[in-house]
Structure 1
Amino acid sequence: MTTFTASDIPDQSGRTVLVTGANSGIGRAAARALAAKGARVVLAVRDVTKGKDAAATMTGDVEVRRLDLADLSSVRAFASDFTEPVDVLINNAGVMIPPFSRTADGFELQFGTNHLGHFALTNLLLPRIRERVVSVSSMGHRAGTIGFGDLNWERRRYRAMAAYGQSKLANLLFTSELQRRLARAGSPVLAMAAHPGLAATNLFRPTGIRRAVEPFERAFVRLFGQNDDGGALPTLYAAVAGIPGDSYAGPGGFLEGRGAPKLVGRSAKAQDTAVARRLWEVSEELTGVVFPQLQDV
């Protein structure tokens, strides 16, 4: 069995890769690896100063642009200004189990950022995307349910982990429905998904009650997980490997926590085409962004 590492990434010269949330964690690691292989890499980040600090650690052609996925006006402005072709879009940015808060447009923060922001960005950029869209999900999708009756936690007692699971399940449903729509449109673009396993990224920053359990989380990740570079490998595999659309890549080791990337399974809920279609339609209504008319880039 072939083991995929960063050295297996083919030459990326002449290609443009856009990575959201690339100022830290697996996004930064993926961007660094692709830039080192010759890609022009655009770091789409909320904090431009941190983005520039990250870019300074990379070799090659690296650019920083501001994008706040928790604000649809920022997403629209970014997409309007980004007029050049994109070979690969990596929807990496995300938030994980924060205290309850809302986006600029009133959505629950995790659903609004992890799903709706990327949903809008992808569809707005899609006419300029030439090869792939990679969306980063999580093993946490298995605990998720799409609560159509209350997607934004307006009537239920807020449970941060359940909201996170909903957003990560949405990433996989979005990927599958996007691939179906691309295929029907006759587009060569492929939609992929990946998860990093247990990666010790800044998503594990302690907040509130989590400060008490953070040392145990860190110890667990050190034992069963991997660092940012290892966590980025499934994303890189999904971005460059010769695999079919709607593939889902994750670590091949114990409980998918660490190890070289391979194609992995997903929950039955993540394979529900009716739910995926309904989520797409609801997402169009919430964002005001629809699947575009496509033509050759």
Structure 2
Amino acid sequence: MSEKWTTANIPDQRGRVALVTGANTGLGYETAKALAERGASVVLAVRNVEKGKQAAARMAGDVTVQALDLTSLDSVRTAAAALRSRLDRLDLLINNAGVMYTPKQTTRDGFELQFGTNHLGHFALTGLLLELMLPVPGSRVVTVSSTGHRIQAAIHFDDLQWERSYSRPGAYGQSKLANLMFTYELQRRLATHGTTIAVAAHPGMSSTELARNSPAALRLPLTWLSPLVTQTAAMGALPTLRAATDPAALGGQYYGPGGRFEIKGNPRLVTSSPQSYEVALQRRLWTVSEDLTGVRFPIGESKQTPVPSGSTATM
């Protein structure tokens, strides 16, 4: 393969079924579009079905739409049931959808919006769809995190829903740190099955609608600096696409832009924060997530020895 990984490196995806959340715009749209162009049957899992249909109409290939609102566990369960009834396999589950820096709000189930959408919604969806993936050799769960997992980030087990105080970047950082901890713990549990793997990715700084909720004091400088420090959504989707399709990818790996500070550039293997590799925290978050969502995965807890921080081997 060429040194700079691009969509040209995506292997033939014919015969594979992919589900991409938040696929009507931005990174999700570019991810779904590239997979469809390489022959995958792609399901756009979106909150706004009409916008999803409009996005599907702009893509070539076999593309369908599934209603999914990650802010509602009822919607997640309904979508998962519909998908289990219409699909006999799922090769790729790409947990892409997310919100960023939102004002203090809650999901329909009372969870803080960023944690509830970015982590708990995807946690539940993955658990409910995993039975479609476990029998499929080479299947992958790819969860999109962010460099924001390093910023004011911690899993606030004493106040997960930010009821005592609220910080937009802090809540976002918690949700993105949770995405990585979920990936690493999921991979540890999947390792004994030998079919499905869990991989993570981040897009660097990409020009999408995600930052629309940023405070005005931050949004204005970003507008001025955007041409210098951001990349297109198509470039930002490349780490996700590599995590999803590179034959050399291993479970528990993390892909991001290869440029300076991982802001932009073609995708490569990167490492996450030391905190994200703390196994005790990963397992505690998993248990809490099961309790909050009521979703139990069809795989048990692994007793495997954890992989050292930054390792590129499977967990």
Query: Under TM normalisation by the shorter chain, which class is it?
Result: over 0.9
Counterpart of 2:176 in structure 1 is 168
The alpha-carbon distance between structure 1 residues 287 and 136, as it changes in their structure 2 partners (threshold 3 A), is same
1:116-127 equivalent positions in 2, closer than 5 A: 116-127=120-131
Deviation at 1:218, TM superposition (A): 2.4
Among 216, 221, 225, the residue aligned to 1:216: 221
Counterpart of 1:110 in structure 2 is 114
Is contact 1:40-1:61 (8 Å) kept? yes
Among 181, 186, 201, the residue aligned to 1:178: 186
Counterpart of 1:61 in structure 2 is 62
Counterpart of 1:150 in structure 2 is 159
Say whether residues 1:258 and 2:241 are aligned partners.
no
Counterpart of 2:144 in structure 1 is 136
Counterpart of 2:42 in structure 1 is 41
Is contact 1:48-1:66 (8 Å) kept? yes
Is contact 2:101-2:213 (8 Å) kept? no
Counterpart of 1:193 in structure 2 is 200
In the alignment, the residues of structure 2 paired with residue 121 and residue 271 of structure 1 have an alpha-carbon distance, to the nearest angstrom, of 23
Among 193, 204, 217, the residue aligned to 2:211: 204
Q: Deviations over 1:161-183 (max 9, x none)?
A: 10000000000000000000111
In the alignment, the residues of structure 2 paired with residue 219 and residue 255 of structure 1 have an alpha-carbon distance, to the nearest angstrom, of 20
The alpha-carbon distance between structure 1 residues 68 and 211, as it changes in their structure 2 partners (threshold 3 A), is same
Say whether residues 1:225 and 2:216 are aligned partners.
no
What is the letter of the counterpart of residue 48 of structure 1?
V
**Identical residues among aligned pairs (%):** 56
Deviation at 1:32, TM superposition (A): 0.5
What is the letter of the counterpart of residue 118 of structure 1?
H
Deviation at 1:53, TM superposition (A): 1.2
Say whether residues 1:247 and 2:256 are aligned partners.
no
TM-score, length basis structure 2? 0.90
1:7-22 equivalent positions in 2, closer than 5 A: 7-22=8-23
Deviation at 1:212, TM superposition (A): 4.4
Q: SS of the residue aligned with 1:44?
A: strand
What is the letter of the counterpart of residue 98 of structure 1?
T
Q: Deviations over 1:145-164 (max 9, x none)?
A: 00000000112x11011000
In the alignment, the residues of structure 2 paired with residue 159 and residue 212 of structure 1 have an alpha-carbon distance, to the nearest angstrom, of 15
Counterpart of 2:303 in structure 1 is none
In the alignment, the residues of structure 2 paired with residue 290 and residue 219 of structure 1 have an alpha-carbon distance, to the nearest angstrom, of 46
1:52-91 equivalent positions in 2, closer than 5 A: 52-83=53-84, 84=87, 85-91=89-95
Is contact 2:189-2:299 (8 Å) kept? no
Of 217-226 and 35-44, the range deviating more from structure 2: 217-226
In the alignment, the residues of structure 1 paired with residue 74 and residue 126 of structure 2 have an alpha-carbon distance, to the nearest angstrom, of 14
Counterpart of 1:51 in structure 2 is 52
Is contact 1:127-1:293 (8 Å) kept? no
Deviation at 1:205, TM superposition (A): 1.5
Is contact 1:200-1:218 (8 Å) kept? no
Deviation at 1:215, TM superposition (A): 2.9
What is the letter of the counterpart of residue 162 of structure 1?
G
Deviation at 1:293, TM superposition (A): 4.7
Query: How many residue pairs get matched?
Result: 290
What is the letter of the counterpart of residue 160 of structure 2?
L
Q: SS of the residue aligned with 2:191?
A: helix
Gaps of 5+ in 1: none
In the alignment, the residues of structure 2 paired with residue 212 and residue 179 of structure 1 have an alpha-carbon distance, to the nearest angstrom, of 39
